Amino acid sequence: MMDTKVLSRDDLDNETLETVAEACHISTRDIEDIYSCVHQQLDHVSHSQPGRSEWFQIVLSFDEGIDLEQWCRALQRVVKANTVLRTRLVQCPGLGVLQVVIKEDHTTEHLSGDVEEYLRDDQARRMDFGVPLLRSAFIGRSFVLTIHHAIMDYWSLTTLVQQDIVMAFLGEAPPKRPQFKEFVAHCLAIDEGAAKAFWASRFDSRRLPVVFPPVPPGHTPYPSQAVEKEIILTHHAGPGSISPTHVPTFAEAAWALTAATYADSDSITYGFVLSGRSPTLGGLESTLGPMHVEAPMQVNLNIQQRKGMTVEQLVKDRATSLRQLQAHPALQYGLAKISLVNEAAQVASKFQTLFNIIPALPPKFSTASDAPAPIRMDRVLWQARTLPALILRCKLESINGDGGATSHGPGTTRISLKTLYDPDVLPERQLHRILNQFEHTLCVLAKAPLTTRLDRLPLFNKHDLGEVLRWNHDAALRALFPGIPAGRCKVWLASLHNPNELAPIGSVGQLWLEGPELSSASSPYLLSTLQQQVPPWALSSDESGLFIRTGYLAKYIETGSGEDSELCIMGREENRVKINNQTVQLEEVESVIMHHDDVQDAAVFTKIVAGRTQLVAMVVPRDTSGDTDSESSSSDTETILAREVKEMGGQQLFLDSVRRHAEKSFSSVEGHKIPTVWHAIEQFPYLQAGGGSGLHTVDRDALRRWLKLRR
């Protein structure tokens, strides 16, 4: 967000000009112009997000006989005509980050050696404040152009290299484009009231979105690892296929559904990259410079409602949303300002996935004949030091099947998916599972009838199935359910939304047990849930198999080795509640509270307070003087609950300490998991032995009755 609007070097006094010149290591005479930055530029430098930086390296190959100096002169001509290419960024106290246009002729280095070595060395060179944000070099007959994302977006990049420089190289006049300064003035003139109203309408604070992937509290994500994947979609006439023009919309819809699967929520958020170039800009859309927008999205899938959303509704919702964004003048409002319009926008603006759909670069330049072009686009390298924990770049390429080694058949779209991720947030194996799930979801959406409800889509993919069949968690189950027999017992996690499907690995599912010996279980609780009806997802051909729906929710999580996963019990299904329409598992909150050194036991419930559902925590201090016999029966409930800690001063200090512990344990987007009402209890009532499943023996019903009587 800009501190002060600056639109000309005339807006600054001589002292400030001297400061700017010194930061750029130039004279004030070399400063052509100075003006404020737009939010896109600030988003790509460390000013707004420490450690963030993004740039491109474009590699071209020139055949023998091509005049390299002529290409250098063409580049110099284009740089001179577009001030954004001669821009540096400078931090100024009280003025924020300013962009400074320098009076200079661009020069291209001529070097010998290996182009791969140059690319590695070039990545290590500074490209931040006070230095040029564009540089170029010939290494033999390979040309490398390095450009910072703060002065160039993807559209500008391809237009610069494949149109403007080429035209100048051929002796033609490059297009006369509006200067980037005009776009800056447009952004600074956006109507604040209209922009706030537009963005506020796009976020529903009645159901706060969930950020995926979740980032551990205190961790600053850095996506340092890369994974690539190729997805092929085949198009054909008739039902069960989509046209190539609809692939971007279906791809975004598939990611929304994938993220919701792992986030365990019907309302999710992610960032989506838009070009920011619309006819509503009145010609400014042809400007070279960063006009792209990383827009926070809130997608409400409505899966759990009685009439769930259909494939058609989801796809239309995403298409309409993007169309409205691209056409609205407030698109360029900026992430920092968007985050202030309401509570849901504040959560959404902290997205940890950035989804970007981009067109593929042509492999060669246009020529007058079908002969191979003498100048070839070898590759575009994208270097990023950025904050979202997960970045997905989907490069789409339509293949018509007219022959050639790259064809995958008639009417196909190849999606080259490049992913940057933080391994401390997403382990590599889980990332591969997520990408497999995204591919599976996209293919399912593309083939499903448009009237299919989302909760009826077959979303369990074959890759997860192979892993589940290899795992054996028998020992862990006997620890959880002491009453199960010692023989072989299979574990299944069924989907929460579609009981006919298994849950993808890493998502929350209903915990089921299967085994012929379950009828001999010694636990009355387990026997009460025994059933012989074979669930639709069961893979066993033995119709005499026995199944138990345990009533617990669980998911598979990575082990330290990364070679296997372990079963993580989330809690009871009835303890899965909604706060601000966000899912909260009460056992998770209790576990966090129990990690406080002075807490002996904790129980969390929901209660209507002041017309809103709130979390209420009941906490037993570790140093109570009363009897803490865990064998106390529920018949002693009234006596036990009457002994609530009475020392208000000590009680309040203790509860304040536990509350601060909970606040530190949850991330900034998990505030809904922090109880708002706290009670210190001297001792909990417990169920008699054998009354529970073995996981939790606190008499929660007794605590609820006591809480209900409290005002």
Rounded-to-integer distance, Cα 446 and Cα 450, Å: 9
pTM of the model: 0.85
Kindly state whether residues 407 and 469 are assigned to the same domain: no
Task: Decide if 3 is inside a domain.
Answer: no
Q: 387 — phi, psi (to 5°)?
A: -95, -35
Rounded-to-integer distance, Cα 396 and Cα 409, Å: 16
Half-sphere exposure of 220 (CA within 13 A, CB side): 7
Rounded-to-integer distance, Cα 186 and Cα 273, Å: 20
What is the domain count for the chain? 4
Task: Decide if 547 is inside a domain.
Answer: yes
Kindly state whether residues 664 and 594 are assigned to the same domain: yes
Confidence at residue 402, expressed as pLDDT on a 0 to 100 scale: 47
**Where residue 628 falls among pLDDT bands split at 50, 70, 90?**
very low
Range of the domain at 151: 9-56+64-184
pLDDT per residue over 112-150, tens digit each? 999 999 999 998 888 889 999 999 999 999 999 999 999
Kindly state whether residues 504 and 467 are assigned to the same domain: yes
Kindly state whether residues 234 and 323 are assigned to the same domain: yes
Chain position carrying tokens 């926008």: 345
How large is the average pLDDT for residues 166-193?
Answer: 94
**What is the chain's mean pLDDT, rounded?**
84
Confidence at residue 126, expressed as pLDDT on a 0 to 100 scale: 82
Q: Give 73-92 as a DSSP string.
A: HHHHHHHHH-GGGGEEEEEE
**Where residue 400 falls among pLDDT bands split at 50, 70, 90?**
low
**Where residue 199 falls among pLDDT bands split at 50, 70, 90?**
very high
Kindly state whether residues 528 and 660 are assigned to the same domain: no
Strand partners, 272: 295, 355
For the cut 70, the answer to whether the pLDDT of residue 649 exceeds it is no
Kindly state whether residues 630 and 551 are assigned to the same domain: no
For the cut 60, the answer to whether the pLDDT of residue 171 exceeds it is yes
CA distances 96 to 192, 431, 551, 637, 660, Å, are 20, 38, 55, 62, 34
Kindly state whether residues 619 and 592 are assigned to the same domain: yes
pLDDT per residue over 280-290, tens digit each? 888 999 999 99
Q: Are the beta carbons of 194 and 327 closer than 8 angstroms? A: no
Q: 299 — phi, psi (to 5°)?
A: -115, 120
Confidence at residue 476, expressed as pLDDT on a 0 to 100 scale: 52
| Other CB atoms within 10 Å distance of the CB of residue 488 | 11
Confidence at residue 499, expressed as pLDDT on a 0 to 100 scale: 80
Confidence at residue 647, expressed as pLDDT on a 0 to 100 scale: 34
Confidence at residue 243, expressed as pLDDT on a 0 to 100 scale: 83
Confidence at residue 439, expressed as pLDDT on a 0 to 100 scale: 97
For the cut 70, the answer to whether the pLDDT of residue 47 exceeds it is no
Task: Decide if 4 is inside a domain.
Answer: no
Question: Which pairing describes strands 612-621 and 677-680: parallel, antiparallel, or unpaired?
Answer: parallel
For the cut 90, the answer to whether the pLDDT of residue 489 exceeds it is no
For the cut 70, the answer to whether the pLDDT of residue 485 exceeds it is no
Classify burial at 446, counting beta carbons within 10 Å of its beta carbon; exposed 0-12, middle 13-18, buried 19 or more.
buried
**Where residue 467 falls among pLDDT bands split at 50, 70, 90?**
confident
pLDDT per residue over 344-385, tens digit each? 999 999 999 999 998 765 555 544 444 457 888 888 888 777
Confidence at residue 371, expressed as pLDDT on a 0 to 100 scale: 44
Task: Decide if 95 is inside a domain.
Answer: yes
Q: What is the DSSP letter of 178?
A: -
pLDDT per residue over 26-45, tens digit each? 999 999 999 999 988 887 77
Among 184, 216, 241, the domain boundary falls at 184
**Where residue 472 falls among pLDDT bands split at 50, 70, 90?**
low
Confidence at residue 558, expressed as pLDDT on a 0 to 100 scale: 76
**Where residue 80 falls among pLDDT bands split at 50, 70, 90?**
very high
Confidence at residue 604, expressed as pLDDT on a 0 to 100 scale: 95
Q: 384 — phi, psi (to 5°)?
A: -140, 130
pLDDT per residue over 212-240, tens digit each? 999 988 888 888 899 999 999 887 666 66
Kindly state whether residues 605 and 515 are assigned to the same domain: no
Q: In the chain, what percentage of residues exceed pLDDT 70? A: 82
Q: Are the beta carbons of 513 and 490 closer than 8 angstroms? A: yes
Among 139, 163, 184, the domain boundary falls at 184
Q: Lowest-confidence range among 87-96, 137-146, 261-270, 627-636?
A: 627-636
For the cut 70, the answer to whether the pLDDT of residue 522 exceeds it is no
Task: Decide if 300 is inside a domain.
Answer: yes
Confidence at residue 127, expressed as pLDDT on a 0 to 100 scale: 86
Task: Decide if 2 is inside a domain.
Answer: no
**Where residue 543 falls among pLDDT bands split at 50, 70, 90?**
low
pLDDT per residue over 248-287, tens digit each? 999 999 999 999 999 988 899 999 999 999 888 889 999 9
Among 410, 434, 459, the domain boundary falls at 459
Q: Enter the tokens of residue 390.
A: 């997960």
CATH of the domain at 35: 3.30.559.10
For the cut 50, the answer to whether the pLDDT of residue 318 exceeds it is yes
How large is the average pLDDT for residues 589-604?
Answer: 94
Residue 21, amino acid = A
Task: Decide if 701 is inside a domain.
Answer: yes
Rounded-to-integer distance, Cα 207 and Cα 223, Å: 29
Task: Decide if 597 is inside a domain.
Answer: yes
Q: 311-327 and 247-263 helices cross at what angle (nearest 10)?
A: 110
Kindly state whether residues 148 and 21 are assigned to the same domain: yes
CA 70, 72, 75: angle at the middle one, nearest 5?
110
Kindly state whether residues 236 and 348 are assigned to the same domain: yes
Alpha-carbon dihedral sign for residues 189, 192, 198, 204: positive
639 Cβ contact partners less than 8 Å away, ≥ 6 residues apart: none
CATH of the domain at 673: 3.30.300.30
Kindly state whether residues 44 and 166 are assigned to the same domain: yes
Kindly state whether residues 495 and 449 are assigned to the same domain: no
